[in-house]
A and B are shown apart, each in its own frame.
Chain A
């Protein structure tokens, strides 16, 4: 038993943290919030040079093929920002979906350019029905001259406005999991990506208007898409959870520092037990998310059955981030809602990730199924 980070993980953490402090301090994060695309080109290039985009891509496809728990150390640091940008969408979920679903030739063609940051992937799953299960995939391509033609809408697609390539889950049969994956050029004629306005972080609407994609765009085999996506999600979700843990950690540190320094009634407000209660609620959520996430990562990295732990981690982490931000707002009062302070970016992200790839209730139900109750 060893619940500490390894030496190389500690090194990665310290490199990532100084990168984040240098390249993505609060004012940069706040400045990015209103931009249509979540991808900041300079920062993206530098991160790519550090190998961040190929961290889970196997070496034979141009990545560094690190363990998920190594990647989790990185994602905790990115999440502290919270640094937006399709790090997770492209470097994790996109890459793993191609890895799990594509043919060998497709992997060799797509993955090295994802690992280098040259191409930016995102996976389009849910639709106006906002389901994260296979039945919710209803967008059905028509066949025309051996090609697929897409007409319809994918919704809550993360970072679609910065993506160069879409992996689109489409319905290709009547069985519940008769889903296939199409690799679509995000800049192709008829494809429109639009960042959804409101209290949501770079979740997009993607519309397809007579978009014709060649038969070779089918990743792997027909009807195998959901199984591939399921395998990819099992490995990707804990890294999204790690991003959330980093977010919770940052929110916690902000709240402790504020409780120590803000003086009212002649004393730091942390001296008040009502304020302490908010901080304690926050740290309990933080640690719940952290340990649920890390146990899931450990199970995946050691080849143990991990489905139930992964679902639990996403349920716990989603709830934790939302509650952590709520608690932080109670500590910070007016200061917390000043956009320039930086807490609001977390709060908006916590709401965004609450639902993204399945909300807590959905994952708890999948957990119960995985445990075979």
Chain B
């Protein structure tokens, strides 16, 4: 086994090129915690501008096919990019783009050639930011129960009506990737369809939800969510991806990726900052990191982050080496989420009440510990609750149902 990519001279040159480019192009202080709503929006614009620049070089979606505007790079180059971007505490894309990541992967597998040509280049080049819309008031964990948002064929168009919740981040979106009911009386799993549509069409309106979490454009997670209303929104039939009432098939790809099937490489940013905090903060004259009880807690926390990293690395490898997967995707998601939730208590115990305040004098720097206290809880449900992940694992292990379930296909995403 080899847990690390061995880089050729050409790849080392690529790394230097990427590093130099990022140093020149990542705006100063883009990782800042925004100080006001205006500053939050300003920061978002900076991230989008960076996204467009990355997209222009094919580095926003590095492994996406070049003929649709992606980077067309192999996995080794993609890892270099991920690692270098990670040095700036950023991800690819550097803003919340769930519909771009998961929608583009689904379209690559299930869209027609015309749809790929139409929908993929703006995503890959960073010209649009796309949100995914799945959850409804009556359909959360039971995604197949989507009923409230419907699309009805009308000539060359579909007319969409209904409501989605827990959507996106803040600062708005350009595109929407959503699943709706196209056969209200149809059979379960044979009554849903996916659409990739413009987010600014007449009849679409949004209203922010006030959540316990914080943070807006952190990459894959977001603490700000919207309710999105559809009031007779007319969209072209061309926007329907994968065929009418074939939405559940398309969802297998989407959900496999959302459930961690794609894997992840990169550091745990909370851990690095937590250790530094404990080394720099004293209690009774002794740094927290030198107190035996805190050290024991830190060891337990570190091990959870390491196992999460290893599961992410394994899934990354399985995906890109095109090896068969079974329960590994939902396992990563389950482990990451339960570890994060457990960590809220462990960090609170290790650090004490300073973990709970954003006060610049008495709290941690930029309140990162307070953010973890909230987001460790909030992160348990997006992309499927921990219970749903366990249901998935059990089916794929071969005990949940009479036949063993296979992992959804994610290939196409990196072809």
Contact = CB atoms under 8 A, between A and B. Distances in A.
B2 to A, nearest CB: 5
Contact of B314 (A268, A271, A291, A297): A291
B289 A294 contact: no
A368 B310 CA distance: 19
Nearest to A275: B399
Interface stretch (B17-25, B182-190, B294-302): B294-302
A5 B321 CA distance: 13
A103 interface: no
Contacts of B314: 3, 287, 291
Given A3-B3, A373-B295, A284 B399 contact: no
A364 B303 contact: yes
Contacts of B300: 364
A298 B3 contact: yes
Contacts of B79: 1
B296 A294 contact: no
B275 interface: yes
A294 B321 CA distance: 18
* Interface size, A (range): 35 or more
Given A280-B393, A284-B331, A365 B295 contact: yes
B400 A291 contact: no
B68 interface: no
Contacts of B317: 1-3
Given A4-B321, A279-B394, A69 B296 contact: no
B298 A373 contact: yes
Contact of A270 (B303, B327, B394): B394
A270 B400 contact: yes
B279 A373 contact: yes
A267 to B, nearest CB: 9
B390 A364 contact: no
Contacts of B303: 312, 315-316, 364, 367
Given A279-B399, A283-B393, 8 more contacts: A2-B321, A271-B400, A279-B397, A280-B390, A291-B307, A298-B3, A315-B303, A367-B302
Contact of A69 (B1, B306, B331, B335): B1
5 contacts: A1-B2, A3-B1, A3-B314, A283-B327, A298-B2
Interface string B124-138: 000000000000000
A283 B311 contact: no
Shortest beta-carbon contacts, A-B, top 7:
A270-B399, A276-B394, A364-B299, A291-B310, A3-B317, A259-B399, A2-B2
A260 B296 contact: no
B56 to A, nearest CB: 28
Contact of B311 (A256, A276, A287, A299): A287
A8 interface: no
B331 A283 contact: yes
A276 B1 CA distance: 31
Interface string B1-41: 11111000000000000000000000000000000000000
A300 B366 CA distance: 39
A276 B334 CA distance: 14
A270 B394 CA distance: 8
A288 B390 CA distance: 16
A365 B399 contact: no
Contacts of B311: 287, 291
B391 interface: yes
Given A2-B2, A365-B296, A271 B399 contact: yes
Given A283-B331, A284-B335, A291-B307, A1 B296 contact: no
Contacts of A284: 331, 334-335
B399 A256 contact: yes
B390 A276 contact: yes
A41 B300 CA distance: 42
A6 to B, nearest CB: 8
A277 interface: yes
Contact of A292 (B2, B5, B299, B307): B307
B298 A280 contact: no
Contacts of B295: 365, 368, 373
A361 B394 CA distance: 31
Contacts of B5: 1
B4 A292 contact: no
B414 to A, nearest CB: 14
Contact of B1 (A2, A271, A288, A373): A2
A295 B3 contact: yes
B398 A273 contact: no
Contacts of A292: 306-307, 310
Contacts of B310: 288, 291-292, 295
A4 B394 contact: no
Nearest to A269: B399
Contacts of A373: 275, 278-279, 289, 295, 298
B394 A294 contact: no
Contacts of A287: 311, 314, 331
Nearest to B278: A373
Contacts of A364: 296, 299-300, 303
B302 to A, nearest CB: 8
Contacts of B298: 368, 373
Interface string B317-330: 11001010001000
A69 B302 CA distance: 25
A90 B19 CA distance: 50
Interface string B271-311: 00001001100000000010000011011101100110011
Interface string A1-36: 111110000000000000000000000000000000
A68 to B, nearest CB: 11
B398 A256 contact: yes
Given A276-B400, A284-B331, A291-B311, A1 B3 contact: yes
A107 to B, nearest CB: 29
B380 to A, nearest CB: 16
A280 B334 contact: yes
